[in-house]
Amino acid sequence: MAFELPKLGYAYDALEPHIDARTMEIHHTKHHQGYTNNLNAAIEGTDLKGKTIENILINLDMSNAAVRNNGGGFYNHSLFWNVMKPDGKGSLTGELKDAIITAYGSVDAFKDAFSKAAATRFGSGWAWLCVHKGGKVEVCSSPNQDNPLMPGVGCGGTPILGIDVWEHAYYLNYQNRRPDYITAFFNVINWNEVERRYAEAK
């Protein structure tokens, strides 16, 4: 079965004023659709067809640029849409909050670390909150459409929260003000979904 562009659980304008509707529509229907189409083309006729995207990325041959770039783009954006919600959803609580405080000392210190990882990623890429087996969490970043599921990328572990810092994710609204976009992102995080992913991955 071919990969399909996932539907959003909210309207394109639902994240305004933090992320504008035009950016969301272009990002979803053009960029993510492009990664989806190109991933399907890259795996057609290979033994990768029929495997889950996670299985493909964990066992990825990093020299396969078509699968690396488009498989990463497909996975990263699929996570990105799901960890956002209009005006956020829920608050950071429970075991995930405890793990973040254990790792970073406080929630604010975690936010600073995550924001720094996103702001200082040179050029295009992503910042991540990942969980390792046993529940330890760690912030890191990766270039282009790479992610920590891939061999040797970032901090390893399973991404449970990610922010896209490619310019196409924010330029219409924020231009060169990436830090303002990163700050706005915290207003739309779906913590219920992030906590679900934490419980599943740890």
Assess if residue 87 is contained within a domain.
no
Give alpha helix (H) positions in 27-122.
Answer: 33-43, 53-58, 65-82, 94-104, 107-119
The verdict on whether residue 27 carries a ligand-binding annotation is: yes
Last residue of one domain, picked from the residues 30, 51, 82: 82
Confidence of residue 90 (pLDDT cuts 50, 70, 90): confident
pTM over 0.85? The answer is yes
pLDDT at 28: 98
Q: How confident is the model at residue 89 (pLDDT cuts 50, 70, 90)?
A: confident
Regarding whether 101 and 174 lie in a shared domain, the answer is yes
- Residue 6 counted as domain residue: no
Task: Tell me if 1 is assigned to some domain.
Answer: no
List of residues 6+ apart from 24 with CB closer than 8 A: 8, 12, 13, 15
Domain stops at, among 82, 104, 126: 82
Q: Would you state the pLDDT for residue 126?
A: 98
Is 32 annotated to bind a ligand? Reply is no
Structural domain boundaries enclosing 107:
94-201
Taking only the tens place, the pLDDT of each residue in 43-60 is: 999 999 999 999 999 999
For the residues 174-194, what does the mean pLDDT come to?
Answer: 97
CATH code where residue 32 lies: 1.10.287.990
Same-domain status, 99 and 194: yes
Kindly tell me the burial class for residue 171, based on how many C-beta atoms sit within 10 Å of its own C-beta (0-12, 13-18, 19 or more): middle
Query: Is residue 61 domain-shared with residue 135, that is, in the same domain?
Result: no
Helix, strand, coil abundance in the chain, percent, nearest 5: 50, 10, 40
Q: Is the pLDDT of residue 1 over 90?
A: no
Whether 141 is covered by a domain: the verdict is: yes
Question: CATH number of the domain that 159 lies in?
Answer: 3.55.40.20
Residue 62 domain-assigned (yes or no)? yes
Shared domain check, 101 and 68? no
Q: Is 133 among the domain residues?
A: yes
- Examine residue 42 and state whether it is found in any structural domain, yes or no: yes
Q: Please report the pLDDT score of residue 142 as a whole number.
A: 98
pLDDT of residue 87: 79
β-partners of residue 89 are 190
Residue 87, annotated as binding a ligand:
no
User: Of 123 and 1, which is predicted with more confidence?
Assistant: 123
- 76/120 same-domain check: no
pLDDT at res. 144: 98
124 and 43 housed in the same domain: no
The answer to whether residue 69 is domain-embedded is: yes
| Average pLDDT score over the chain | 97
Stretch 165-172: mean pLDDT: 97
For residue 88, pLDDT over 90 is answered with no
Q: Are 106 and 32 part of one and the same domain?
A: no
pLDDT in tens, 135-147: 999 999 999 999 9
Q: How many domains does the chain have?
A: 2
